Structure 1
Amino acid sequence: MKQLKKFETFQHLHHQSAPFVLPNAWDAGSAAVFERTGFKAVGTTSAGIAMSLGYKDGEHLPFETLLDVLTNIACSVAVPVSADIEAGYGAFPEEISENVQKIAKTGVVGINIEDGTGNPEQPLSDASWQAEKIAAVKKLDLPLFINARTDLYWLKHCNPAFRLQSAARRANIYREAGADCIFVPGAVDTQTIHQLRNGISGPLNVLAGSGTPSVKLLSDMGIERISLGSGPFRASLTLLKTIGEEIISRGSFRHMTEGVLSYDDAAEWIHPPKK
């Protein structure tokens, strides 16, 4: 019942008058910090999880390891958690269905599933084949929100003149197959996002990045969800790089001491006292 309630809450976030921002965590600690700072739900970043554990992104992380990480994240927060499962860790709808059932048992109430293949010769899955995978997951009838991602813009695939039309076509095929929301990472300029919004039915998710319009502008365009992707993870690595360079080159510790949480505060953020 608790998981069903989280699923319903997560669904509702996609049908508000303004978009909600979904931060992407890579471990229990980052998820807890996002919850503590006020976010209403947490997503995961496949890149952040994989890289933090020493793997390349793109389903190189062992599936069982992913399940362990998702369980840790889902158990660390009270807000709904949505998992980036990349292409589903399977080639066939039946494989993906089995994997999704295991993923649902971790406590997450949403998934991202993408049509990028990682194969340079065929970078995108056939749209109809991808729709079969989505439909197979939908038939499981789990309390699981399906965010179908198309990588046309992310991979800069196909002729730019036809990219918008192709992305909208794929998106609407995925919606008909049962996707609850469509994610189009790589679309960043106002005109493109506006055209995608007009051409795609149902909730639309965009990825925040350099050049992305403000939350207010995205709200005015009718965007329902804004993901942060691997941005926070990469920003954290950048801070670590800055800390290391300061120590090595200057022999000082300002970046790791000024304005940071104390040991006790950090511990309390990750493991708040029970009421």
Structure 2
Amino acid sequence: MPVTTADKRATFRNLHGSGCFILPNPYDVGSARALQHLGFKALASTSAGFAWTIGKADNHVSLDDVCDHLTALCAAVDLPVNADFEGGFAREPEQVGANVARAVKTGVAGLSIEDSTGDSARPLYESALAIERIRAARKAIDAIDSGVLLTGRCEGYLVGQADLAMVIDRLTAYAAAGADCLYAPGIKTREDIAAIVKAVHPKPVNLLIGASGLSQAEAADLGVRRISVGGSLARSAWAGFMKAAREMAEQGTFTELANGYPGGELNKMFR
């Protein structure tokens, strides 16, 4: 039987009920299908990884770009897709809500809203405004009755404000405003991770692995419910590409091409 959008959303919500699952981040349709082939239960988009595929820097893509990308990902796989929806592509709560409603129509099973401004002088939205932005996203989702899972993100650690108390205050406020899952990318120590998990309990916590360096089992022991990897898979793919391309450009040799994944295997996977 075909997997419906409603099925994907129900599956995604159920995954957050217990245990700890990996939510890898594809950057295009091919990588999404490869991750489904490998047996993952759900996927998440990556703002950086997607931006690089269209020749742009992270946080420099348009709302149209992202919604087209999300539509393509959701149509390409039978798995739930969580959207890295950056800061909602707007400052004011009302417009954040309108943009979230548009994202829901792409077929996503979840989406995240972060509190970073992109302004180095004031890297985080003022707390009251950040909370209202989450509340607006929640209202937009509930108005559609979509079952989409909302993740509230505090970017403090990524913008040089590694203040655990502040991050916890924001995450607990985002939970109260309607976030179903909480996320503070950049947290690294076991103590900080455990403190956040405890503070927002019973709501689930997403952990960015690559920053923490923990294994899935170690994260699960700390109470983490889901693990994402951000742009790491995209960067890994670019690493191989750039290494081979640099060899050709600088040395005129082609030895790195021998390290490519077998074309026959790729054809089998995508057949």
Calculate the TM-score normalised by the size of structure 2.
0.91
Look up the match of 1:14: 16
Shift of 1:245: 3.4
Give the distance between the partners of 2:45 and 2:149, measured in 1 at CA. Answer: 14
Supply the distance in 2 between the matched residues of 1:233 and 1:126 (Cα, whole angstroms): 32
Q: Which residue number in structure 2 is paired with residue 148 of structure 1?
A: 152
Take 1:269 and 1:221, find their aligned partners in 2: how far apart are those partners? 35
For 1:118 and 1:205, locate their aligned partners in 2 and report how far apart those are by CA, in whole Å. 22
Contact 1:26 1:52 in 2 (8 A): yes
TM-score by length of 1: 0.90
1:261-272 aligned at under 5 Å gives the runs: 261-262=262-263, 264-270=264-270, 272=271
After superposing on structure 2, the runs of 4+ consecutive aligned residues of structure 1 that deviate more than 6 Å are none
1:171-190 correspondence to structure 2 within 5 Å: 171-190=171-190
Query: 1:50-74, CA deviations, whole angstroms, 9 ceiling, x for partnerless residues?
Result: 122111212x212112111111111
User: Does residue 108 of the first structure (1) align with residue 108 of the second (2)?
Assistant: yes
Shift of 1:265: 3.6
- Quote the offset at 1:211 in angstroms: 4.6
The separation in 2 between residues aligned to 1:211 and 1:86, in whole angstroms, is 21
Is the 1:188–1:209 Cα contact (8 Å) retained in structure 2?
no
Aligned to 1:2: 4
1:133 and 2:137 are equivalent in the alignment: no
- Mean Cα deviation higher: 191-200 or 71-80: 191-200
Q: What pairs with 1:86-125 in structure 2 (closer than 5 Å)? A: 86-125=86-125
Q: Which runs of 5+ in 2 are unaligned?
A: none
Percent identical across equivalent pairs?
32
Aligned equivalent of 1:55? 56
Q: Deviations over 1:221-248 (max 9, x none)?
A: 1100111000111111111122223445
- Measure the CA separation in 1 of the matches of 2:212 and 2:100: 34
Unpaired runs of at least 5, structure 1: none
**Distance of 1:121 and 1:258 partners within structure 2:** 44
